[in-house]
Structure 1
Amino acid sequence: MRNQKGIALMMVISAIMLLSMVILEFVYSTNINYKIAVNERERLQAFYLAESALNLMKVEIKIDKQLKYQIASSPIASAINNLPINLSEPMCQQFPFSTALIRGFFMGGALPVMPGSEVAGPAEGKEPEKDSSATAFESESAQEFLAFDGDFDGQCEDEGGKINFNYFYGVDPAQQALSGNNPYDSYKILIANFLKQERFSKLFTGITPEKIDESVRNVADWVDKNDVINELGNMTQGMEDSLYTNENDAKPVNAKLLSLDEIHLVDGIDDTWFMPVQDMFTVYGDNKVNVCIAEDEVVWTLILAYAAQNPNLPPLNQKDPELKKKLVDTVKFGCTGAQAQVNKIAADLDAALGIGSQSQGSTTGGFANFITTESRYFSLKLTGQVNETMVNIMTVLDIKNTDPKRWRMLYYKVY
Structure 2
Amino acid sequence: MILRIKMFFRKEHSERGAALMIVLSIVTVLSILVMQFFHKAVIERNLANNLRNRFSAELLAESAVNITKLQMTLWAKAKGQLSSMAGGANIPIDVSAPFCSQFPELMSTSLLRMIFSEGGKEAAEKLAAEIKAKKEEERGESGKEEIKIGDVDVGGSLFGIGAFDKEKAEKFLKFEGDFAGVCSDESSKFNINMFASMDPSKPVLSGLNAYDSAKQLLVKILLSRRYRGLFPDGEREASEIVRNIADYVDKNSEINEIGGVTRGNEDSLYTGVKWGYGAKNTKLISLSELNLIAGVDDKWLMPLLADGDAITIYGSDKINVCTASDDIVSALILDYANSSPSIPDIKE
TM-based fold match above 0.5: yes
Higher relative contact order (CA 8 A, sep 6+): 1
Distance change (3 Å), C-alpha of 1:145 and 1:66: closer
Is the 8 Å Cα contact of residues 72 and 98 (structure 2) preserved in structure 1? no
Question: SS of 1:13's equivalent?
Answer: helix
More helix by percentage = 2
Q: How many residues align?
A: 301
Assess, with a 3 A threshold, how the Cα gap between structure 1 residues 56 and 316 changes in structure 2: closer, same or farther: farther
Question: Are residue 85 (structure 1) and residue 93 (structure 2) matched?
Answer: yes
The answer to whether structure 1 residue 34 and structure 2 residue 41 are counterparts is yes
* Equivalence for 1:10: 17
CA distance in 2, matches of 1:140, 1:36: 40
Secondary structure of the structure 2 residue equivalent to 1:151: coil
Taking a change above 3 Å as real, the CA distance of residues 154 and 10 of structure 1, as seen in their structure-2 partners, is farther
- Normalising by structure 2, we get a TM-score of 0.71
Aligned 8 A contact 1:53 1:97 in 2: no
Give per-residue Cα distances to partners, 1:241-275, cap 9 Å, x unaligned: 32334421364222322322332333333444444
Q: CA deviation at 1:181?
A: 2.4
Output the CA distance in 1 between the equivalents of 2:172 and 2:13. Answer: 69
3-state secondary structure, aligned to 1:29? helix
Gaps of 5+ in 1: 118-130, 321-415
Q: Pick from 266, 275, 283: which aligns with 1:256?
A: 283
AA partner of residue 35 (structure 2): Y
Alpha-carbon distance between aligned partners in 1 of 2:28 and 2:235, rounded to the nearest angstrom:
70
User: Secondary structure at 2:120's aligned position in 1?
Assistant: coil
Aligned residue type for 2:36: S
Partners of 1:48 and 1:153 lie apart in 2 by: 14
Contact 1:49–1:152 (CA under 8 A) maintained in structure 2: no
- 1:297 aligned onto 2:327: yes
How large is the RMSD of aligned CA atoms in angstroms? 3.7
CA distance in 2, matches of 1:318, 1:96: 41
Question: For 1:237, what is the secondary structure of its paired residue?
Answer: strand
Query: Shift in Å at residue 209 of structure 1?
Result: 2.3
Alignment pair present for 1:242 and 2:251: no
Structure 1 counterpart of 2:200, from 164, 173, 180: 173
Does structure 1 retain, via aligned residues, the 8 Å contact 2:188–2:324? yes
How far is the alpha carbon of 1:91 from its aligned partner?
1.1
CA distance in 2, matches of 1:317, 1:294: 23
Kindly indicate whether residue 238 of structure 2 is the aligned counterpart of residue 212 of structure 1: yes
- String of CA shifts for 1:294-334, please: whole Å, max 9, x gaps: 2112123335556788x7x83365437xxxxxxxxxxxxxx
Q: How far did 1:163 drift? A: 0.9
Alignment of 1:230 with 2:256, yes or no, is: yes
SS of aligned partner of 1:156: coil
Task: From the superposition, tell whether residues 138 and 154 of structure 1 become closer, same or farther in structure 2 (CA, over 3 Å).
Answer: closer
TM-superposed CA distance for 1:77, in Å, is: 3.6
In the superposition, relative to structure 1, how do residues 245 and 285 fare at CA in structure 2: closer, same or farther (>3 Å)? same
Map residues 377-392 of structure 1 onto 2, 5 A cutoff.
none
Deviates further, 58-67 or 211-220: 58-67
1:86 aligned partner, one-letter code: D
Partner SS state of residue 291, structure 1: coil
The aligned counterpart of 2:342 is: 314
Judge conservation of contact 2:68–2:181 (CA < 8 Å) in 1: no
| In structure 2, distance between residues paired with 1:106 and 1:187 | 49
- Match of 1:238, SS state, is strand
Separation in structure 2 between the aligned mates of residue 294 and residue 72 of structure 1, nearest angstrom: 21
Query: In structure 1, what residue type is equivalent to 2:114?
Result: G
The CA distance in 1 between the partners of 2:94 and 2:171, in whole Å, is: 39
Identity across matched positions, percent: 32
Where does 1:13-412 land on structure 2 (aligned, <5 Å)?
Answer: 13-74=20-81, 77=84, 80=87, 85-87=93-95, 88=97, 90-91=99-100, 94-95=104-105, 100-111=110-121, 112=123, 114=126, 150-154=176-180, 156-158=182-184, 159-198=186-225, 200-205=227-232, 207-249=233-275, 251-278=278-305, 279=308, 280-303=310-333, 314-315=342-343, 317-319=345-347
Q: CA deviation at 1:54?
A: 2.1
Aligned residue identity for 1:315: I
More strand by share: 1
Residues 26, 101 of structure 1: CA spacing in aligned structure 2 closer, same or farther, 3 A cutoff? farther
Alignment partners' CA distance in 1, 2:322 and 2:11: 96
| TM-score, normalised via structure 1 length | 0.61
Q: Distance in 2 between matches of 1:25 and 1:80?
A: 76
For structure 2, the 5+ residue unaligned runs are: 1-7, 130-149, 153-160
CA distance in 2, matches of 1:140, 1:13: 69
Report the alpha carbon displacement of residue 168 of structure 1 after superposing the two structures with TM. Answer: 0.8
Deviation at 1:165, TM superposition (A): 1.1
